[in-house]
Structure 1
């Protein structure tokens, strides 16, 4: 029972006593009996009637109050469906290959959306995570890594490059299991930047902000190959690398912000792409990759090591498909509670619905139902039955007599209620006895009980893979705490206000006002109650824009267009243990995706302490126009 019912009940009791007394004094001839006094009535039967009446009217008030979040939920289902879902737990995992005969020179692919299953946590169900990136296991290992100052970099670059090159990052690789690099068809190499404090983010800034070229060299020094800066790529920004489900009606820039504030480490990946032709010229089992930098940062000379560059890593999210227990329909019920597993109801939480099918009384005939509030209803419109469903999310209540294993965390999550309607949103009442629902779900609060790094592998695969028996799969970051849905409460109305956000409000001529609008938007994605996130959001000081005209980087004839130069200014002291560079990179992608397809943006990152830090290249907008 919701605590709000007690709140309404007390208000109704107070109203009957106080306003009843006031009304009886104003109209004594017709309402003298309403003067009950300010204390309890002496007649217990009258007191019972008063309390019963207050209880019934409190229920009516509660139902009327619940209509407001229903309105916001239905509206957000169409324009911003990702706001209504809970935010699942996320983590970074490392796969440790078996180099002793388990892996071949052709490598082994662990595809995106591979399931990782945890150990049993606290006597409850196993947690299931899904990977976000393709991971190609190669018989390759990082043996050494170091920062090279200017005095040591001349051996890796020509005299002409010494004018721009100031330092470098050296990564020594070794081919395992007696293989040579010319035997391994490796075209790309993805590093996860790992470490304590803000070192990984600083390495990310060095590579993505100051990398000018890449050198591949065998240890003898006889073969040195120079590769262009274009082989250095970011990971995690594309739709096919997303952690959260990507839908057609959801703006990808918002997804980037959600994932950044949930797990910023998921963007700390650097990929060297298009290296196969160079690698196959190295007929040895060891080589060096040197990323040449145009800046000198001697503070890294003794802090960078091999463990900072992890191979075979991917983000993973506690999100997976499952067939829910069937719902047995009762004619008198307008709503139907969806429970994924009735034997363990608190171990699963609905993230989204994939399929809803009605089963007839013969238990054979099936009737598909489609979401009523949807921007895309082609399948439903072609159906002769016009059968739809609506969804209502409601905060879950902690069971009073729950098993102690279910009370170790404060997270309760949300529950889902389905209503079957026709195309006029009137109750749909065919010969349907049961509902079969396939859902996308999480393990609710179970990831908070996972203890990583103890014993053998932290997770197991549902597929066979050549992994080390002892190390197996390790969790490097996370799992993060899940966050509940914001389907109800004042937060939902703030999301409705988000509808007024547009391109002009973000680039207001007043740089202080523009920064405030952007900060308000960031508060919708970051948990402002967390001190570190609140400081980062407030660390955005200003946003300035200047219209500009330049050549648009598109294929075909030379084309000039008009766009915007956007300058973001941060206070670096607000990013203790992190870096504003990563948030700047997220916002740079956000503006690029937010701009129209016939325009462009160029983002410049500045800080109060260092001045200009980064100027990204011109990027054309990706938002299509009608």
Structure 2
């Protein structure tokens, strides 16, 4: 029995007696027939009647309170279905590509929803399975050097004068393997994941997508410089095509983005370098520099940025995948049925 029933019963009985006292004061002639006078009732039968009424109304009040979660659940199922569902485990993984593998010169695409399975442990019988949320293309290259600088003229020379707003910059050096020149790659888009500890990746993200005023590509040594369009830097992970949780068309997608952010903020730390095709075709060497100028200088990044913080071939992954469930025997006498994914391993799937 619910312990709140006694509390509600006392509240209802007190309310009935107060109402009876007001009724007796307002209509004393009628109240005398019911032996009602003030808070006391001289007739034991009327007293039992009031107590029975208080008991029934307490049960009704308890039932109404119990229906409130049902109402809110149904409302959330319509407005925000993901809120009531358990949030699966999420992570960011890097796919290892051999930079000396020449067959990757045309790119090796891995589509979204590619399967990642962990190795079985000694006492486990089910592999932990993840699905990727971004499409990734592997190339025979790596980020060999990264540098954050506070004086653009030391890197770009006289070209820095064309950007009077520039107060800082970032230089990334890409290097191919297998002695392949860059112009042999069909590369036009390169997503990079901003790795690192504490708040530094978020500071880099703010600089790249909030303070970038110019983007250049060049061959080391300054033989030529290619200016990239202003929109060459793009964020990734906000479109429905890159969603980690299922997309429900009737729900506001901002709720899904908030849930994904609070579950794994790092899943949004991706920056796409786009429209690289023209610069790549001009580069006949194994190294290509990408230089981004910023209109705001962040002293905390100077001297603390390295190549390990710009990881290519990364994608978020989520422990959510389709699975055929075991058969359920339906009965007309039962309103609810227990759904079990795998009866032989009931604790391995949720």
Taking structure 1 as the reference length, what is the TM-score of the superposition? 0.46
The offset of 1:92, in angstroms, is 0.9
The offset of 1:195, in angstroms, is 0.6
Aligned pairs (5 A) from 1:75-86: 75-86=75-86
Q: Indicate how the Cα distance of structure 1 residues 65 and 342 shifts in structure 2: closer, same or farther if over 3 A, else same.
A: farther
Counterpart in the other structure of 1:229? 230
* Structure 1 CA distance for aligned equivalents of residues 66 and 343 of structure 2: 26
CA contact (8 A) 1:82 1:250 kept: no
The offset of 1:84, in angstroms, is 2.5
* Structure 1 CA distance for aligned equivalents of residues 348 and 64 of structure 2: 31
* Structure with greater contact order relative to length (CA < 8 Å, sep ≥ 6): 2
* Structure 2 CA distance for aligned equivalents of residues 63 and 117 of structure 1: 47
The offset of 1:151, in angstroms, is 6.0
CA contact (8 A) 2:5 2:59 kept: no
Q: Indicate how the Cα distance of structure 1 residues 224 and 11 shifts in structure 2: closer, same or farther if over 3 A, else same.
A: closer
The offset of 1:203, in angstroms, is 0.8
The offset of 1:218, in angstroms, is 1.1
The offset of 1:27, in angstroms, is 5.4
Unaligned runs of 5+ in 1: 1-5, 33-57, 350-626
Q: Deviations over 1:326-346 (max 9, x none)?
A: 110123212112121222223
The offset of 1:120, in angstroms, is 3.8
Counterpart in the other structure of 2:109? 109
* Structure 2 CA distance for aligned equivalents of residues 244 and 119 of structure 1: 24
Unaligned runs of 5+ in 2: 18-40, 49-57
CA contact (8 A) 1:193 1:310 kept: yes
The offset of 1:319, in angstroms, is 1.0
Counterpart in the other structure of 1:277? 278
CA contact (8 A) 1:103 1:138 kept: no
* Structure 2 CA distance for aligned equivalents of residues 223 and 29 of structure 1: 104
Counterpart in the other structure of 2:241? 240
Q: Indicate how the Cα distance of structure 1 residues 175 and 26 shifts in structure 2: closer, same or farther if over 3 A, else same.
A: farther
Give RMSD over aligned pairs. 3.3
Counterpart in the other structure of 1:95? 95
* Larger Rg, first or second structure (1 or 2): 2
* Structure 2 CA distance for aligned equivalents of residues 26 and 126 of structure 1: 74
* Structure 1 CA distance for aligned equivalents of residues 273 and 206 of structure 2: 16
Q: Indicate how the Cα distance of structure 1 residues 65 and 298 shifts in structure 2: closer, same or farther if over 3 A, else same.
A: closer
* Structure 1 CA distance for aligned equivalents of residues 201 and 117 of structure 2: 27
Aligned residues: 318
CA contact (8 A) 2:152 2:160 kept: no
The offset of 1:66, in angstroms, is 4.8
Range with bigger deviation, 167-176 or 339-348:
339-348
Counterpart in the other structure of 1:400? none
SS at match of 1:278: helix
Q: Indicate how the Cα distance of structure 1 residues 324 and 66 shifts in structure 2: closer, same or farther if over 3 A, else same.
A: farther
SS at match of 1:336: coil
SS at match of 2:206: helix
Counterpart in the other structure of 1:142? 143
SS at match of 1:247: coil
Counterpart in the other structure of 2:188? 187
* Structure 1 CA distance for aligned equivalents of residues 296 and 320 of structure 2: 41
* Structure 2 CA distance for aligned equivalents of residues 341 and 115 of structure 1: 20
Q: Deviations over 1:544-579 (max 9, x none)?
A: xxxxxxxxxxxxxxxxxxxxxxxxxxxxxxxxxxxx
* Structure 1 CA distance for aligned equivalents of residues 76 and 126 of structure 2: 32
Counterpart in the other structure of 2:260? 259
The offset of 1:252, in angstroms, is 1.8
SS at match of 2:104: coil
SS at match of 1:212: strand
Range with bigger deviation, 131-140 or 254-263:
254-263
Aligned pairs (5 A) from 1:163-174: 163-174=164-175
* Structure 2 CA distance for aligned equivalents of residues 297 and 319 of structure 1: 39
SS at match of 1:78: helix
Q: Deviations over 1:456-478 (max 9, x none)?
A: xxxxxxxxxxxxxxxxxxxxxxx
Structure 1 or 2: larger helix share? 2
* Structure 1 CA distance for aligned equivalents of residues 332 and 312 of structure 2: 57
Q: Deviations over 1:358-383 (max 9, x none)?
A: xxxxxxxxxxxxxxxxxxxxxxxxxx
* Structure 2 CA distance for aligned equivalents of residues 30 and 292 of structure 1: 87
Counterpart in the other structure of 1:268? 269
The offset of 1:63, in angstroms, is 7.3
Q: Indicate how the Cα distance of structure 1 residues 233 and 159 shifts in structure 2: closer, same or farther if over 3 A, else same.
A: closer
* Structure 1 CA distance for aligned equivalents of residues 338 and 240 of structure 2: 33
* Structure 2 CA distance for aligned equivalents of residues 123 and 26 of structure 1: 72
The offset of 1:12, in angstroms, is 5.3
CA contact (8 A) 1:100 1:177 kept: yes
